Amino acid sequence: MTKTAAIVGGGVIGGGWAARFMLNGWDVKIFDPDPQSQRKIDAVLENARCALPGLTDIALPEEGSITHCDTIAKAVSGGELIVEAVPERLDVKHKVYAEIEAANTTGIIASSTSGIMPSDLQSELKNPERLIVAHPFNPVYLLPLVELVAGKQTDEAHIEKAKEIYSSIGMHPLHCRVEIEGFLSDRLQEALWREALWLLKDGVATAEELDAAIAYGPGLRWAQMGTMQTFHLAGGEGGMRAMLAMFGPCLKWPWTKLMDVPELTDDFVEMVGDQCDTQSGALTPRDLERVRDTNLVGIIRSLRGGDWGAGATAKSHDAQLAKLNGLNVKAADLDEHQQIVTSKRTVPLDWVDYNGHMNEARYLQAFGDATDKFMEMIGCDSDYIATGGSYFTAETHIRHIDEVRAGARIDVKTQVLLGEGKKMHLWHEMYEGTRLLATAEHMLIHVSLETRRPSNPSGAIETALTRIAQGHAALPRPEAAGASVGVRA
């Protein structure tokens, strides 16, 4: 059943929310008084469509709809979740909440505020128990973190419900258990930003140098571990205790400025703005967004390998999406009379090469993942592999029929050409819609992971594989099966 999210405020954050919900199958109704709002949100959607679906190895559901409304009342009417993403002024937010309450009395009101306490936000509401803070991070359609904070009058059941909702759209809800201004993430970010502004103000470094001081060093650690676990490792075998003994004293040295803030004079703002423009060279903010998104997809996907951090979030989203896409089929339920759908996914941004299309190696990655899924379906899953048996690919033949680009939805269908004893001979076809992109023919051999030599699969696997192979023997044999490079079958 389609769910509906209302979004009040369509700036960078509201637009990002719209994209994330819509791409996860929610209908979205949005209100923003800016006449440019629709154009700006369309630009966000365009970026998000190429980027977000590539985080998971399984396709997102069908897109929901986006409706632009000309009043708050129309946007929030009937919504079960009302996202507030208006400017960070308490008086503005209170006014918006009053309009929301006039049109919707039951939906969760989730403020995107970066730091205002939910108790202050809910103070004038008629139904204050339904207000929570759900603080996201830009770009909202890619970064998994959302901080959930309850105010004094919030019903904790809404926090639990919110955890479910945000997890279902691929996010990592972090419940901030103690209500403080700035919550957790912005406290940490703000401390760093304030210090950076001082260094600019004092002429110690430029914006570009300050960014280099992060991006080539600590930032690469922070993408996977926070500052605590990072320093736990920097302490060597003694861990955090050794680190505190070593660097604790430095914390008392004047290594940072006081908590004062540089006066944001026009001159200072211009200087910082100029430095940011210089740093970005010929790249506009829109160009930079594309760069950033491609990098983020690459970074998050790289964390999938170890099932770590944001990569683990994406993988657990896969598990939900596999069900939605009907890819969680048990061996006994496989229909041996037709090709088996073993993959439904979207080409990630970082899979494209200098020729402007999906790189050849990524075809094999997608086919390899389809093979893994088929193995899982017939019982050769991670539990089985942990017992010491698996399949190794001995040979592969790929034919590239047509090109495909980032953001395209691709499906793989699989036919068993032979399944007998240790051998599994597979035929994959990759499509975008009805357009055939590529075929792959693989010979796999079952092995013992201990001896690394061929061995027989379990009886259950052999039974399942044999049944499919026998059924598929009745299907037309693919014309190109058995072909060699350069020879048309």
| Residues in 422-481 at the binding interface with a copy of itself, rule: CB under 8 A | 425, 441-443, 449, 452
Which C-beta is closer to a copy of itself: that of 35 or that of 254?
Answer: 254
Say if residues 393 and 371 touch (Cβ distance below 8 Å): yes
Site for a copy of itself, residues 180 to 239, rule: CB under 8 A: 180-197, 199, 203-205, 207-229, 231-237, 239
Say if residues 28 and 65 touch (Cβ distance below 8 Å): yes
- Options 250, 282, 332, 474; binder of a copy of itself; rule CB under 8 A: 250
Phi, psi (rounded to 5 degrees) for 135: -95, 115
Q: How far is the CB of 8 from a copy of itself (least distance, A)?
A: 17
> 425 in helix, strand or coil?
strand
Taking residues 152 to 191 in sequence order and writing x for each that binds a copy of itself by CB under 8 A, - otherwise, the string is --------------------x-x-xxx-xxxxxxxxxxxx
Give me the helices (H) in 112-155, please: 118-121
Report how many residues bind a copy of itself under the rule CB under 8 A.
160
Is 379 annotated for ligand binding?
A: no
Question: In the structure encoding, which two tokens stand for residue 92, read together?
Answer: 């503005």
Q: How far is the CB of 453 from a copy of itself (least distance, A)?
A: 11
Which C-beta is closer to a copy of itself: that of 156 or that of 287?
Answer: 287
Residue with tokens 């423009």: 277
Strand 108-111 relative to strand 81-84, pairing: parallel
Site for a copy of itself, residues 47 to 86, rule: CB under 8 A: none
Is 92 annotated for ligand binding?
A: no
Nearest to 438 by CA among 471, 398, 405, 474: 398
**How far, in Å, CA of 14 to CA of 112, rounded?**
8
Give me the helices (H) in 249-284, please: 266-280
Say if residues 457 and 378 touch (Cβ distance below 8 Å): no
Q: How far is the CB of 419 from a copy of itself (least distance, A)?
A: 13
Distance between the two ends of the chain, CA-based, in angstroms?
47
Partners of 110 in the β-ladder = 83, 132
Sheet with strand 145-150: strands edge to edge: 66-69, 27-31, 4-8, 81-84, 108-111, 131-136, 145-150, 172-175
- Asked if residue 115 binds a copy of itself (CB under 8 A), the reply is yes
Site for a copy of itself, residues 349 to 378, rule: CB under 8 A: 350, 354-356, 359-365, 368
Which C-beta is closer to a copy of itself: that of 189 or that of 456?
Answer: 189
Is 12 annotated for ligand binding?
A: yes
Q: How far is the CB of 223 from a copy of itself (least distance, A)?
A: 4
Taking residues 266 to 305 in sequence order and writing x for each that binds a copy of itself by CB under 8 A, - otherwise, the string is ---xx-xx-xxx-xx----xx-xx-xx-xxx-xxxxxx-x
Q: Annotated binding site for NAD(+), which residues?
A: 9-14
